[in-house]
Structures are given as structure tokens and as C-alpha cells.
A = this chain, B = another copy of it.
Amino acid sequence: MIKALYPGSFDPVTMGHMDIIRRASSIFDLLYVGVAANSNKKPAFDAGERVDFLHAAVEGIENVQVISFDRLLVDVARELGTQVIVKGLRAVSDYEYELQMAHINYKLAPDIETVFLAASTRYSYLSSSLVKEVAGLGGCVKDLVPPVVHDDIVRQLSRPHR
């Protein structure tokens, strides 16, 4: 049984994340989606909201579990017993950052492998930042985030003074 961990900020979850979740869950026996609770950048949504959005979005995909963490990624992976870390790749700049992360994680824990999935072409331009920027200016993000959480995301991003 091969278990995998898909970590990220998910601030908020996008259809690009859902594409990776769906595909990774079809490859591996069990997929943990891990929300990095305390990232350096000030998030738009707190960790609890981000986990709730994911819970709602993955409902019905049986072999997916959502967790949150605020520790070293490889320590989390070891504790969960996941041999594999899954990352999505979009642009070249993504690739370089993710490569750096994969190398340091390999150095810290050579028994855990990072595997990359390429973002589907239709989501190749999509990021959480983009969703926040477009929704913050009143643009339509209907196809960019999971339908079940769309209204909550938009409501919060269009709050004044955020």
C-alpha cells in the first residue's frame, strides 16, 4: 500500500489543486492533502478555513484525507508513513523552486521520494494568488475554484480592508 502526501498552502484551494488531487488519488492507495498552517507569507484565509474548504472540496473522493501541519514536511511524511510527496508543476519558475525543495527533502529524508505531476493545460495559469487578485477586484472566479466553496471564497475576498 503506497501512501502519498500532497502539501501546500491552499490559500485558497483552486481547481488546479483539485486536478492534482484527483489524479494523485487515482495513482496512490491513500492521499493525504496537507495544509501548511503557518507559512511565512501572511495568508488570506486562516488554517482552519483552508482545511474546511478542502474538506468540502474533496468530499466523495474516498481515498483522500485532509490534515494540517506546522512542522518540517519530511517529519510529517514520516509520521504518516507516506513514502511519497506529491507536487504539481506549472511554469518553469515553479519547477526550479520545487526542485530545490525536493533536493533538500531528499537530503533530510532519503527514504521519501518527491514525485511531480504536470498541471493540466487548462489550469496551467491558475494559482491561489490569481484567484485572490481577480476576486478582490470583483472579477469572476467561477471556473477557478471548486463550486462547493466558491461563494464562501468570494464573500471573504471581496470584504473591504482585506
A: residues with CB less than 8 A from B are 2, 23, 26-29, 40, 71-72, 74-75, 83-84, 89, 91-93, 95-96, 99-100, 102-104, 106-108, 113-118, 120-122, 124-127, 130, 133-134, 137-140, 143
| Bound Cα distance from A74 to B130, whole angstroms | 14
Of all chain B residues, the one with the shortest Cβ separation from A87 is B116
Return A89 CB to nearest CB of chain B, in Å: 7
How many identical chains are in the complex?
6
| Bound Cα distance from A23 to B118, whole angstroms | 19
B27 engages A113 (CB within 8 Å)? yes
Chain B residues with CB under 8 A of A92: 92, 95-96
